[in-house]
Amino acid sequence: MIPAVMPTYGRFDLAFDKGEGAYLFTADGRKYLDFASGIAVTVLGHAHPHLVEALIEQGQKLWHCSNLFEIPAQKRLAERLVANTFADTVFFGNSGAEAVECALKIVRRYHDESGHPERYRVIACTGSFHGRTLATLAAAGNPKYLKGYAPDVEGFDHVAFGNLNELRAAITKETAAILVEPIQGEGGIRAASLDYLRGLRAVADEFGLLLVFDEVQCGMGRSGKLFAHEWAGVAPDVMTVAKGLGGGFPVGACLATERAAAVMTTGSHGSTFGGNPLAMAVGNAVLDVVLADGFLPKVDRIARLLWGRLETLVARYPKVFAELRGAGLLLGLRCVVPNSEVIDKLMAEGLLTVAAGENVIRLLPPLIIDERHVEEAMGILDRVAASYPQ
Ligand SMILES: *Cc1c(COP(=O)(O)O)cnc(C)c1O
């Protein structure tokens, strides 16, 4: 008999009852150090007092009202995102996939309105992940996730991540945009080189394409800057954000320049829940903390400490770990032994991590961790690594 919850997930036999900072607790009191963060969502850890206060305060006033009306907190969050990024305007949805859908609609409409409806194709990278809707699945082009859902949404071409020559060769008169994750998350924590990101900007400009960065996973401070592409000193035309933006409350956003989004006029796009007062109150509260003086430099400092410790671990256990990769607090340990086995062992020792492609273990701690959390995680990683034959 099919379970009441549609069985689309492979789940661990473990349920949490409570969270506090970087820790999760089961109902029977077992404690876990959470280096999964709900897959890069709980950027401020669990039950952060400032977020709890914002949620409760807004919850007592107004949860929802339609986008038929003004929503002051939505305007405020949009203005703050605009003030702190390349973007001039923001559309709010509820998830990463919706943010990518909005980006795809903007790039098609941009060319359509400029008299080039034939320019509708988007070049994306193999190994990418952009969500589970029909269009975002086609955008990523992962055959494993597309299986059974044919026909695929039309209009996507795929090239190797990091290869500018292949990308240039794939451009045709029908190409509208380039869609890239500055750091591929799901695909195995593969960080683009800064030169590659700069090259993407140059190619987009040369051929009149829009450049879309999907920062759903790598954005919101995880790289040590608010958005990962900032390290390269170049800006996209459109950017998708979600996961960390609500710190655990479902919020997504599509940011764009005025040039790209001028075509998005009244009636061109919409969402019932997108940008509702409750979501916006929490999103603003997340920004209060992440944009506070010294917060991101502290993320960068702790990330460098963790990187150094993990490098030593990888060097010490070459029969367990092959490589450390990623940036900031979006880190990947590529394993020699099966990653799922290591993840199980880490969990048994009280450390939560996430699997990714290419036999990688993702480490996605909340951005609020300090030295003690790093030491605790390293102790567990070392114990688990040492349990393998050396
Ligand atoms: C998770 C993710 C998405 C999809 O987000 P959902 O909220 O699950 O729809 C899109 N892009 C990237 C890079 C992601 O990591």
**Predicted pLDDT at 266:** 97
Q: Which of 41, 87, 333 is nearest to 230 (CA)?
A: 87
Give the ligand 1 atom nearest the CA of 96.
5
Percent of the chain surpassing pLDDT 90: 100
**Predicted pLDDT at 302:** 98
- 142 Cα–ligand 1 center, Å: 14
Residue 233 — φ and ψ, nearest 5°? Answer: 70, 20
According to CATH, the superfamily of the domain at 18-48+294-386 is Aspartate Aminotransferase, domain 1 (3.90.1150.10)
pTM over 0.85: yes
Q: Categorize the per-residue pLDDT at 251 as very low, low, confident or very high, splitting at 50, 70 and 90.
A: very high
CATH architecture of the domain with range 50-290: 3-Layer(aba) Sandwich (3.40)
Q: Which two tokens stand for residue 164?
A: 């500018």
**Predicted pLDDT at 135:** 98
Give the ligand 1 atom nearest the CA of 185.
15
> What's the pLDDT tens digit per position in 216-240?
999 999 999 999 999 999 999 999 9
Closest residue CA from atom 5 of ligand 1: 96
CB neighbourhood size of 114 (10 A): 12
Q: Ligand 1: residues within 6 Å at CB? A: 95-97, 100, 129-131, 181, 185-186, 214, 216-217, 242-243
Q: Which of 267, 257, 243, 388 is nearest to 330 (CA)?
A: 243
> Torsion angle of alpha carbons 325, 326, 332, 337, nearest 10°?
-20
- 4 Cα–ligand 1 center, Å: 25
Cα–Cα distance for residue pair 219/96, rounded to 1 Å: 12
**Predicted pLDDT at 327:** 97
**Predicted pLDDT at 95:** 98
Give the ligand 1 atom nearest the CA of 184.
13
Q: Which amino acid is at 55?
A: L
- 242 Cα–ligand 1 center, Å: 7
Q: Which of 243, 362, 364 to mutate to test ligand 1, by most ligand atoms within 8 A of the CB atom?
A: 243
CB within 8 Å of 237: residues ≥ 6 apart = 204, 210, 211, 212, 256, 257, 259, 260
Domain ranges within the chain, ordered by starting residue: 18-48+294-386, 50-290
- 207 Cα–ligand 1 center, Å: 28
CB neighbourhood size of 59 (10 A): 12
Cα–Cα distance list, 25 to 28, 33, 42, 71, 192 (Å): 8, 9, 15, 36, 36
> What's the pLDDT tens digit per position in 277-315?
999 999 999 999 999 999 999 999 999 999 999 999 999
Q: Which of 41, 101, 136, 217 to mutate to test ligand 1, by most ligand atoms within 8 A of the CB atom?
A: 217
**Predicted pLDDT at 300:** 98
Question: 288-326 burial by CB neighbour count: b if 16+ within 10 A, else e?
Answer: ebbeeeebbeebbebbebbbebbeebbeebeebbbebbb
DSSP letters for 48-63: -HHHHHHHHHHHTT-S
Cα–Cα distance for residue pair 327/224, rounded to 1 Å: 8
- 329 Cα–ligand 1 center, Å: 17
> Torsion angle of alpha carbons 98, 101, 105, 106, nearest 10°?
70
Total residues found in the chain within this entry = 390
> Using CA of residue 233, residue 238, residue 241, residue 245, what is the dihedral sign?
positive
Cα–Cα distance for residue pair 27/297, rounded to 1 Å: 36
CB within 8 Å of 342: residues ≥ 6 apart = 320, 333, 335, 361, 384
* Mean pLDDT, the chain, integer: 98
CB within 8 Å of 330: residues ≥ 6 apart = 40, 183, 185, 189, 217, 218, 222, 223, 228, 362, 364
Are the C-beta atoms of 170 and 177 separated by less than 8 Å? no
> Mean per-residue pLDDT for 315-323?
98
- 330 Cα–ligand 1 center, Å: 14
Q: Identify the DSSP state of 244.
A: G
